[in-house]
Structure 1
Amino acid sequence: MIVSTVRLPSVDSTNTWALNWLRSATDEQLERELPKVVIADQQTAGRGRHGKSWFASDDGLACTLITNASPELLSIAVGVALAEAIEMVAGPTTVHLKWPNDVWMNGCKVAGILIERHGDASHESDAVFAIGIGCNLGKHPELDQISGGVPPTSILNATGRLISKDQLLDTLGLHLLEVIGEVAEQPNDVVQRFENRNVLRGQNVRCMIGGQTVEGVCDGLHRDGSLVLRTASGLQTCSSGEVQQVRSRPLG
């Protein structure tokens, strides 16, 4: 269950606020207040992965879950939980996932995820994460604000249903913790639930592997959550970084 909630009228980034709070929090505070949700009524400088910005309308959900978790399959679990939570509150609808951290509806991006770790990476059992989520509910940013050329959408545009921040958060907070917990018991099930929504499967993609640009056909997910590419030189796995769809062309 969510133990504590902070609601901020305005903040630059809920993840930045969360990380600043973690730096000053005592062990007693962490024990007493986690899992903790930080939600912003207005986010002025949302952050995405690799230094990108997350542009959100004032009516969008901008929040961060601060919790202890295992890093194993965490990004996969968060994506699954967010997609399933949107379906729970806005269904009947289908939500898809673009590895590693984008949530799509009707071929457009509706939400993004930014996971940042606090503390010493060598202490796996004590890992605390700030899990940031931005989701367009009624409005969405203009296309020229979005990098990567993926058109934006909102839950309202995709489904015709206007969902409030609190409606989505009430379902999302608990479901996030449930799916993160399921990774320890049923890792293959969580990976498969992501795979069932994987928009890249069967698509020609480009990513960085071992410092080299690699192109191939996405063959799905490995059980460790990495992306498997079928290339001219055989199967390769991409564990991190950006993945771009490219025009189809024969291998070899």
Structure 2
Amino acid sequence: MSILLRPQLPMEDLSLLTLTMAAVVREGIKEYLGVETQIKWPNDILHNGRKIAGILTEVKGDMDSVDYVVVGMGINCNNNVAEELKQKATSLKTIWGKEININHLLMAITQKLEYYFHSFLNREVSEVLNINRKYSYLIGKEIEIANIKGIEKGMVVDISSDGSLIIQQENNIKKVVSGDVSLSNTYTSLSKN
């Protein structure tokens, strides 16, 4: 599902849009199915560590203003997940145990979109940030971030008020604004010491 949005905002105010849309999808699924999911910053929705949805945003405009934003939400509803992907992905049908009425799911998501997007436009994003923090798949975990600087590692400690990921590295705390995030292969639980 794709949605065309025309927020009357400067480009720098869009940093929280993807997190807003993650909250929309997460809360829409919860509303319709009662299924608890996690948000993998900034744009994936997971159930027990397996991906069920992804969100992409494409912005058209310049540094001063936004012409439009296209938000694409890909949700694994009634599909059967290929055997080789079952460790990483699942579908709502698999989780819920029966076919999903896609129209009802879209209505639930649309209702959440109206509420959270209105809040976003009014710069009232504390609820969106709280949802992203409360249902974060990454907070408290060691991660690796691939970005233009290479691969960085750290433990996720929070999501900042501007939507950045806050990570604790060996001797400092750092804000991450973008990058491909994965759980670190070097993660060891404190209980294993």
- Would the TM-score normalized by the shorter structure come out above 0.5? yes
Conservation of the 8 A alpha-carbon contact between 1:228 and 1:237: yes
CA RMSD of aligned residues (A): 2.0
- Percent of aligned positions with the same letter in both sequences? 21
Aligned residues: 182
What is aligned with 2:18? Answer: 75
Instruction: Check whether the contact 2:147–2:180 (CA below 8 A) recurs between aligned residues.
Output: no
Alignment partner, residue 45 of structure 1: none
Structure 1: distance between partners of 2:39 and 2:94: 18
Say which of 64, 84, 87 aligns to 2:27.
Answer: 84
Q: In the aligned structure 1, how far is the partner of 2:103 from the partner of 2:26?
A: 16
Render the CA deviation track for 1:171-205: whole Å, top value 9, x for unaligned. 21232132122123422221111111101011000
Which of 80, 84, 95 pairs up with 1:158?
95
- When residues 121 and 177 of structure 1 are mapped into structure 2, their CA distance, relative to the original with a 3 A threshold, is farther
Matches within 5 A, 1:55-204: 63-69=1-7, 70=9, 71-91=14-34, 93-118=35-60, 120-124=61-65, 126-142=66-82, 144=84, 151-183=88-120, 184-204=122-142
| Partner Cα separation in structure 1 for residue 88 and residue 147 of structure 2 | 26
Match of 1:248 in 2: 187
| Partner deviation per Cα, 1:58-108 (whole Å, 9 max, x = no partner) | xxxxx10001134130000000000000011111x2111001111011221
How far is the alpha carbon of 1:123 from its aligned partner? 3.2
Offset, 1:233: 2.6
Counterparts of 2:89 and 2:27 in 1: how far apart (Å)?
A: 19
SS of residue in 2 equivalent to 1:190: helix
Gaps spanning 5+ residues in structure 2: where? Answer: none
Q: 1:117 to 1:140 in 2, by over 3 A?
A: farther
Contact 2:141–2:183 (CA<8 Å) still a contact in 1? yes
Q: Deviations over 1:195-222 (max 9, x none)?
A: 1110101100011466142101011201
Q: After TM superposition, where is structure 1 displaced by more than 4 Å over at least 4 residues in a row? A: none
CA distance in 2 between counterparts of 1:221 and 1:150 reads: 27
The residue aligned with 1:24 is: none
Hey, what's the Cα distance between the residues in 2 that align with 1:81 and 1:72? 16
* Distance across 2 between alignment mates of 1:155 and 1:177: 23
Q: Distance in 2 between matches of 1:160 and 1:106?
A: 15
How far 1:121 moved relative to its partner? 2.4
| Structure 1 gaps, min length 5 | 1-62
TM-score with structure 2 setting the length: 0.86
Matched with 2:164 is 226
Q: Which residue identity does 2:160 align to in structure 1?
A: H
Q: TM-score, normalised by structure 1?
A: 0.67
> CA 1:140/1:220 → structure 2, altered by over 3 Å: closer, same or farther?
farther
Contact 1:208 1:238 in 2 (8 A): no
Deviation readout 1:146-175 (Å, 9 max, x if unpaired): 6xx961111121122422221111121232
